[in-house]
Chain A
Amino acid sequence: MSLFSTIVSQLVNGLQSGSIYALVALGYSMVYGIILLLNFAHGDIIMVGAYAAWMCMVNFHLHPVVSILIAILTSTLLGVVIEKVAYTPLRSAPRLSLLITAIGVSFLLENGFQLIFGAGAKDMSSAMTAVTGGPSISFGGTTLSFPAMLTIIVSILSMAVLTFLVQKTKLGKAMRAVSEDMGAAQLMGISVNATVSFTFAVGSALAGIGAILYLCAYPQANPTMGSMLGLKAFVAAVLGGIGSIPGAMIGGFVIGMAEALVSAVGLSVWKDGVVFAILIVVLLVKPTGILGRNITEKV
């Protein structure tokens, strides 16, 4: 393989994993933006989405499209349920209690699924071929695999819809209003509970889409698959500026690219290390991230 085709294929790899990170990072960032919570259970929503897809495809032999829709719906509902059950009662509690609760929910999901489905990975490689088995494009000695194209296109589409929702619709405006001043938004007649639930629903739906795209690349579900993916997406959100939606997208792609770059130079063992090194550097140099707002404390 020529140097050029190596670069291109690593670039595509980076875009593929980067777009998954971006989708997941969006969920982190949106939730943080609205209730200042680092929802560490967010990664596990992906895991549950993946299990839902596995159940539908492998156990019930449902049509892949139906399975995918069910998986996304399951993630969405789970996100809203977690918010209602675990976070809403703590709305006025100190933020640390909320954070600890999020970690608790994460452990509950991981260990709960381990208890129910066992610790082993559920293989979906044959089932996923129905989704990933499309034509690939070749040019100049490089191959663009179908899953990679699918992932990149679906992610970009999802992000475009999200941007439209947030910028142009009344629910998006309500979201931005609540994230800026919850009290004032309430006095303008905006239901904070509904808006927060909507945010969780959208973030979790994106995680569900992320789960399916993740399965395209690594077709197996296991109880802890969400934790590393979630953590890396969290790094992406912080890098982009947590609370910022375009920031999360940029952060996701940067993290994906960084990983691909590290692998390209033959240091793939260091992939995870580099991601967390980025987190440390960001926190030291520019804690508000690339697009983060400077937060001034109210007096």
Chain B
Amino acid sequence: MSDYELTYNDYDSREKILPERDKAYTPVMEAIGLSIEFGGLPAVDDFNLTVGRTEICGLIGPNGAGKTTVFNLLTKVYQPTRGKILIDGRDTKGMSTIQVNRAGVARTFQNIRLFKNLSVIDNVLIGMHNHTHYNMLTSTLRLPKYWKAEKAAREKALELLSIFGMQDQADAEAGSLPYGAQRRLEIVRALATGPKLLLLDEPAAGMNPSETTELMENIHKIRDTFQIAIMLIEHDMSLVMGICEGIAVLNYGKIIAKGTPEEIRRNPVVIEAYLGKKRGEKQDAEGQ
């Protein structure tokens, strides 16, 4: 821990931010002093965040603040330059993307990355890859175990699709779905990997207000049904303020504020980051 003493300045403050019901449990994710540099330029700098087991947590900030980079660090698409990430109390140092996924982190993408030429249900089944158990020989010979495992997997996939009422589109090609449905399918596919922490990168992007409202309900439903933590990047403030219990605000790769939606809404530093400073106002909020 001594390596992080200098940078990890708000370790004690996590108690304040975690939802009451999650305080007794190991946080699902802890980022401690997380930093990454690209060619000497810090993209994310000293990022500290704790997410409770069943928390819905928002990561907001202006464009280019480093939000997606944080997701890429959490999923090990990038290896951090400094700092560490604990998933469910386990240090993920040296883990690959696949191992982190198995440890319980799944995500969606800002620009949808479905397997567009595959059917809807196959996309979900690919998410379930590590939970479907039978080997090459069993499947080549089409032994009963194969049929049983495939049938069980298919039923599970349909059940997951039914969260969003998509079970009737199971055999459609994923690329042929309307935009909103593709976003929903990405969430289902990520859920299929059996995550403890679900990362949603701008889930409401391109959705109309009624679709967004429905999405909010569904995010709640997913959390309640699966008892998992959800962390989301979003620009739609009505969604973020409406469903997040804790919010972290990122600007220029640094967390400039953390708190409940109420606290964030009133925080002058956040308002400044989004709207700019009022003329003559003092720079007293720096480094908070």
Contact = CB atoms under 8 A, between A and B. Distances in A.
A190 B98 contact: yes
A173 B140 contact: no
Contact of A183 (B102, B113, B125, B126): B113
Contacts of A185: 115, 126
A224 to B, nearest CB: 33
B97 interface: yes
Contacts of A190: 98, 126, 129-130
A177 B118 CA distance: 8
A181 B140 contact: no
A161 B140 CA distance: 7
Contacts of A164: 142
Contacts of A187: 75, 77, 97, 101, 106-107
Given A187-B107, A189-B193, A165 B139 contact: yes
A126 interface: no
B125 A173 contact: yes
Contacts of A177: 115, 118, 126
B101 A188 contact: yes
Interface in B172-197: 189-190, 192-193
Contacts of A168: 139, 150
A293 B107 CA distance: 28
A271 interface: no
Contact of A173 (B77, B101, B113, B122): B122
Contacts of A173: 118, 122, 125-126, 129
Contacts of B190: 188
Given A186-B98, A189-B102, A174 B129 contact: yes
Interface string A180-224: 110111111111100000000000000000000000000000000
Most chain B CB neighbours (cut-off 10 Å) among A161, A170, A185: A170
Interface in A146-181: 161, 164-165, 168-171, 173-174, 176-177, 180-181
Contacts of A183: 77, 113
Nearest to A174: B129
A180 B173 CA distance: 14
B125 to A, nearest CB: 6
B101 A180 contact: no
B259 interface: no
A184 B101 contact: no
Contacts of B134: 170
Contacts of B227: none
Contacts of A180: 115-118
A69 to B, nearest CB: 14
A186 B97 contact: yes
Contacts of B101: 186-189
Contact of A184 (B98, B102, B113, B136): B113
A212 B139 CA distance: 24
Contacts of A188: 101, 106, 126-127, 129, 189-190, 192-193
A176 B129 contact: no
Contacts of B189: 188
B132 interface: yes
Interface of A: 161, 164-165, 168-171, 173-174, 176-177, 180-181, 183-192, 293
Given A176-B117, A187-B75, A190-B126, 19 more contacts: A164-B142, A168-B139, A169-B139, A173-B118, A173-B126, A174-B126, A174-B129, A176-B122, A177-B118, A180-B116, A180-B118, A185-B126, A186-B98, A188-B190, A189-B98, A189-B102, A189-B106, A189-B129, A189-B130
Across the A-B interface, the 6 shortest Cβ-Cβ residue pairs: A189-B101, A184-B113, A169-B139, A186-B97, A177-B126, A180-B115
15 contacts: A168-B150, A169-B150, A170-B125, A171-B139, A173-B126, A174-B129, A177-B118, A180-B117, A180-B118, A184-B114, A186-B97, A187-B97, A188-B193, A189-B106, A189-B130
Interface of B: 75, 77, 96-98, 101-102, 106-107, 109, 113-118, 122, 125-130, 132, 134, 136, 139-140, 142, 146, 150, 153, 189-190, 192-193
